[in-house]
Structure 1
Amino acid sequence: MEVSGLVWALTIVGIAALLAFDFFFHVRKAHTPTLREAAIWSSIYVGLALIFGLGVLAFGGATMGSEYFAGYITEKALSVDNLFVFLIIMASFKVPRADQQKVLLFGIVFSLIARTAFIFVGVALINRFSALFYLFGLFLLFTAIKLLKPEGEGDGDEANNFIIRTAKKIFHTTDQYDGDKLFTIHNGKRALTPMLLVMVAIGGTDILFALDSIPAIFGLTQNVYIVFTATAFSLMGLRQLYFLVDGLLDRLIYLSYGLAAILGFIGVKLVMHALHENNLPFINGGEHVDIVEISTALSLSVIVGVLAVTVIASLLSPRGKAHNVISSARASAAHYLDHDYTEDPNERHRLYAVMLENEKVLRGLDAKFTDSADAELTELLDRAHAEHAAHR
């Protein structure tokens, strides 16, 4: 089905309007969203994505509809995985809690622009070189294998990358935030604030994320309208989702395995499609290979099934629960002690309450699941208790 220019224009205007609404009504004034606010708006954005998908199903037919939902679910799962890195970057730069929304919205807008560019470049290349499906498929298989490898100790320090180190050497920077300003006056000179540097870090990682996500969705559909809209709607509401699942992400200990399975499956699907469309002379004499292609319906079933098993297994895992509690206790205590993180009395009260609840759960866990709780965590919790007692 061909999508008219009018439909394209209305879609782009609608997405731009949602982003503008998000900025002017939620992000422009710095504040820390409540759990209720994050839950309501996350539900609204997911609801809008589902309604849009039903519209695609009604006007575009079953094939377009199933391609959209398969693409949306895959991209949403990948975007949730990206939140892990966003958490690390925020922690590395010690971004004040109230200003994190602005950084996230910038990341979403930048990611949408970067991925849109990748989409149109990808379409142009695919139309000229069908063999690109081989490269996309092999790249996804490589990414899947990489996800299965345990992370090294330095893998999480995404903020300490080459661009940031170079910026700090070339430009005058300061370690102090000045609200949400990108520039400030430091020692009588104009300086870059950490707010600008964290946005650069988020933007840089967004480009890396696009290298995984765009080949993945091209493995499900080559309809550029579906690729664009599924990608855009998967990013919408990511800011609210960050605050909703903050503290729960560590619980999804098997998410990387689930994503590896999905990317591996799509990688195989792309290679099979490439063989079916083959025109490379050194493969089957340049003739198409008579091979069964995986249907969109089967792809959607596999993606939903793998994610369901991954999430359920993670939530039911005793070690996953322990890992989540330890991480949450460490984060809540550290944030409570860091007055630059937040001075909001309500947020500090919430952090202390979360820490107390985590301590209570930790005492009831089997010792074999709490081996990662160390003396450093105990000392951190003791300091938080001492500060709370001193300010009562």
Structure 2
Amino acid sequence: MSSDPWGRVDETGTVYVRTADGEKVVGSWQAGSPEEALAYFERKYEGLVVEIGLLEKRVQTTDLSAKDAQAAIDHLREQVEAHHAVGDLDALRARLDKLVETVEARREERKVQRAKQSDEARHAKEALVVEAEELAQSDQWRAAGERLRSLVDTWKGLPRLDRKSDDELWHRFSHARSAFSKRRKAHFAQLDAQREDARKTKERLVAEAEALSGSTDWGPTAARYRDLMTEWKAAGRAQREHEDDLWNRFRGAQDVFFAARSSVFAERDAEQTENLKLKEELAEEAEKLLPITDLKAARAAFRSINERWEAIGHVPRDARPRVEGRMHTVDRALQDAEETEWRRTNPEARARAEGLTGQLQAAVDKLKGQIEQARAAGNTARAEKLEKELDGRQALLDQALKGLQEFGG
């Protein structure tokens, strides 16, 4: 008979393994010595040890599913429970039990993780739906369309939810995209109709512009071209393939007319430039009358200058306000001087001014007397009230006296 700490072989060749529940028969060995029998079944045990070690490593370091891990544990447990090995089978059972706990813990972790991922996916898809529904109302066709396509790609990258929730959210998401596409299609259909109307309108404007291009009725024709341009801008854009051609024809017709007009106006401009030079000389002569010291002489001189001015023809339009403004400044100075002289020599106005001044002076003197009486009587409140009234009358008197001085008095 042969034995070791975990098993033995009896005289009949039966091999036993020791467990916490007592000895268990491992098998029968007739082919050799008892030592060889124990060695053979010990190797069986070592094989189980290696397999359990590998499974422990897979469970800890790979993404082995709980289902596959449990199947592997059950397979190894069947081998351990079959008692076809000699060694510490109870230790192997304990390791397998611990592996079960580890797998269950991993299963719970993954369950929690899946629940978390599902919750995150739900919130992410709900956010995509909300954004898609907002974009469905947008008029930013290009940007909103590109963003909706981007949202579809994002949706495809998210995990699926339970079928009911996923289908409901997808229905809303798809409906929002369809609503946007329908609105965009209607918008561009309307835009196409508007562009067709614009094309017809612009063809009419081009025809009229081309008919006017040979006109020599410069003023009315130029005004009509301005009106045509206003109508052109109001018509909106035609289709791209027509817009440029219509514009080139429209602009070309105007260019023909305005080139002809410019040629005629160039001769007129030369004459008006000479007129401007003459009027600038007259304006300089008029400005030498300032400041006015002899009103009668200045008025006579200005009248002579003005007669010569009127005899000269037109000047360039852009120079007209400047040169006429210089003459107007001198004319205004003469008018102001005449008005000042008239006020100074007007006897009726002087009399009215003297009368008003006298009345105000009397009122001021009267108030001063009343103030002295009130203070003598100790009536401070009345005195202060009268002083405020005195300030107002005194201001009016000062103004009247200033006006009287303009009469030379």
TM-score computed with the length of structure 1 as normaliser: 0.20
| Structure index of larger Rg | 2
TM-score computed with the length of structure 2 as normaliser: 0.19
**Greater RCO (Cα-Cα under 8 Å, separation 6 or more):** 1
- Whichever structure has more helix as a proportion of its residues is 2
